[in-house]
């Protein structure tokens, strides 16, 4: 027997169903997805370190070397961030990106306004040391994956000049591979 439902009841049911499904049907996150979300946050912070330093350099004398350093590094970090944004689906971007932007800005601004170049360079060195270790862990994981599935990675040139470039090349191949296989 056919049940009669009014339009409002159907609409309420569908709204509840869509609301419920939205919170229940979350995409599965793999190890590298979590790492890439972290990478995106880190690259966002890195870009904003240089924005903060450049802003502080406006208020300090004799900071031409700082401005040149920041401009060059900002361009490099922006390329890395653009790759991360392209590779990582929007729903996997952390909702904490505004905090990463503010934190990065402050991390660039304070050392530059207080100590000019030397303080900024020391801060950047500390950040880069952490990033290198973080990326190396991911590269090791991807190399292990490479050994298990060499056919996918054979098109990747993974002998890069720096770990960021190597990691990005590995991730590009990994994301393509993940579209077809669940690793």
What digits encode the pLDDT tens for the residues 147-176? 777 766 655 544 444 555 666 666 666 666
Write the pLDDT tens digit of every residue in 90-148: 888 899 999 999 999 999 999 999 998 999 999 999 999 998 888 888 878 877 877 77
- Residue of 97, 68, 72, 73 whose CA lies nearest to 84: 97
What is the model's pLDDT at position 24?
A: 46
Taking the C-alpha atoms of residue 173 and residue 182, their distance in angstroms, rounded to an integer, is 14
Q: 94 or 14: whose pLDDT is higher?
A: 94
Rounded percentage of the chain residues whose pLDDT exceeds 90:
39
What is the model's pLDDT at position 152?
A: 60
Residue where the block lists tokens 């950040």: 127
Write the pLDDT tens digit of every residue in 22-40: 444 566 777 777 888 898 9
Q: Give the long-range contacts of residues 31-36, CB within 8 A, separation 24 or more.
A: 31/141, 32/138, 32/141, 32/142, 32/171, 32/174, 32/178, 33/88, 33/92, 35/138, 35/141, 36/84, 36/87, 36/88, 36/92, 36/171
Taking the C-alpha atoms of residue 109 and residue 103, their distance in angstroms, rounded to an integer, is 10
User: What average pLDDT score do residues 72-88 get?
Assistant: 89
Per-residue pLDDT at 17 exceeds 70: no
Q: How confident is the model at residue 80 (pLDDT cuts 50, 70, 90)?
A: confident
What is the model's pLDDT at position 6?
A: 46
Supply the pTM of this predicted model.
0.73
């Amino acid at each position: 027997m056919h049940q009669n439902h009014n339009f409002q009841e159907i609409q309420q049911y569908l709204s509840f169903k869509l609301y419920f499904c939205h919170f229940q049907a979350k995409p599965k996150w793999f190890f590298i997805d979590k790492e890439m979300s972290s990478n995106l946050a880190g690259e966002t912070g890195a870009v904003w370190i240089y924005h903060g330093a450049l802003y502080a350099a406006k208020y300090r004398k004799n900071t031409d070397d700082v401005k040149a350093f920041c401009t060059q590094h900002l361009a490099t970090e922006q390329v890395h961030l653009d790759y991360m944004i392209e590779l990582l689906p929007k729903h996997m971007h952390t909702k904490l990106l505004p905090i990463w932007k503010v934190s990065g800005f402050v991390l660039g601004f304070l050392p530059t306004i207080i100590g000019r170049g030397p303080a900024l360079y020391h801060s950047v060195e500390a950040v880069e040391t952490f990033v290198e270790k973080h990326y190396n862990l991911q590269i090791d994981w991807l190399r292990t994956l490479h050994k298990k599935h060499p056919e996918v990675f054979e098109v990747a040139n993974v002998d890069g000049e720096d770990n960021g470039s190597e990691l990005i090349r590995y991730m590009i191949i990994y994301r393509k591979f993940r579209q077809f296989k669940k690793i």
